[in-house]
Amino acid sequence: MNTRTLGGSGITVSAIGLGCMGMSQSYDPPVDRGDMITFIREAHEAGITFFDTAEVYGPFVNEELVGEALKPIRDEVVIATKFGFNYDEDGTPGWMNSRPDYIRERVEGSLRRLQVETIDLLYQHRVDPDVPIEEVAGAVKDLIAEGKVRAFGLSEAGPGTIRRAHAVQSVAAVQSEYSMWWREPETKIFPVLKELGIGLVPFSPLGKGFLTGAVNADTTFGNSDFRSTVPRFSPENLAANQALVDELGRIAAEIGATPAQLAIAWVLAQGAFIVPIPGTRSMSRLQENIGGAELQLYPDTLARLDEMVRSIDIQGERYSAYQQSRIDNQ
C-alpha cells in the first residue's frame, strides 16, 4: 500500500483509510460486532493503517469497537475520532457543543473507549456557531501539549473557519465529503488547504455506494438506512444520475478496473494531499478499494474522467434540510 502524509502533521498513513461509521450505524442490515473486530484487524493486515471513527457513531459504540479491534496493533495504526455534539440523558445526540471544557470532557471519554493514551487525529465534527473557532483550536492545542492529542482536524468547515483555526493551532486535515458526484470542495476549500499545507480526508468517495454501480433507481433502503432520507437517493434522482455510473463503468471496463476502483483512483489523482476513507464492512469490497488506491491513471484516462464529471449535472441535494442545517455554520 502506498502512503501519504496528513498535511504538515508528519503523520504518515495508508493512501486510503477505512471509515468505520457503517459498522455501527446508518446502513442496513446490522452487522455482528465480533465480525467487525475481525474485519478491522484483517484490514490492517491488508495494508490499511488509517481508521476513522467518532463518538457520535452509535453513539459511543463505534469508538469502543475500533478501540478493541486495534488495541493489539495500536503502535502500527493511526486513529482519528471526533467531538462536537451534546447528548441527552439516554445518550441521544443533540445540538452541537464545542465549549472548551466540554471538549476536554469528551476527549477523556474517547481516550477511554479507544483504549489509547493519545488520539492521533482529533476532529471537530461540525463547526459550532456558538463557540469561536479560536477557542476550539486553543482547547485542542492544550490537549496536544498534554500529550492527549497528536493532531487537530476540522470536518465540513469553510475556508474562513479553517484559516482562523489554523492561526491558533495547525490544522493537519479537513474532512469533507468529496467524490465524482460532490465536487464543491474543489472551489470552496482546495485553495486554502493547498496554501496552508493541510490535508483533505474525503468521506464518501464512492458516493455512499452509488459510484460502485450497486445502487440504481430500483434500489430500496430500509428505514434505518440513512440514505432513505437523502434527496440524492430518491428514485427520480438516482435515475437522473445513472448516466455518471454508466459512463464510469464503460471507462473502467476499458482499463480492466471496476467503477469503484476508478472512482477512488480519480479522487487520489486530484492531489497528493488527499487521503480518502471509503467505508465498507466487506473484505471483498475492501480489497477492491485497495485496488483503486494502486490503480495508475494515465493522462488520457484522467482527461476522459474529468470531462465526464464536468459534463454530467448531478441531481438532488446530498443531505436533507435538517442534516444540512448541521453543516451550514461557516
Listed in sequence order, the residues at least 6 apart from 64 whose beta carbon sits closer than 8 Å to its beta carbon are 58, 113
Residues 249, 88: Cα–Cα separation, whole Å? 45
Residues 235, 233: Cα–Cα separation, whole Å? 6
| AA letter at 171 | V
Residues 318, 102: Cα–Cα separation, whole Å? 30
Catalytic residue among 57, 123, 298, 322: 57
Q: 27 catalytic, yes or no?
A: no
Residues 122, 151: Cα–Cα separation, whole Å? 6
The length of the chain, given as a count of residues: 330
- Joined together, the cell numbers standing for residue 12 give 504518515
Roughly how many angstroms between the first and final C-alpha of the chain, as a whole number?
A: 35
Which three-class secondary structure state does DSSP give residue 148? Answer: coil
Angle, helices 299-311/235-254, rounded to nearest 10 degrees = 170
Burial class of residue 311 in the structure, from the number of CB atoms within 10 Å of its CB (0-12 exposed, 13-18 middle, 19+ buried): exposed
Bridge partners (DSSP) of residue 79 are: 51
Dihedral of CA atoms 22, 65, 152, 273 in degrees, nearest 10, equals: -50
Show which residues are catalytic.
57
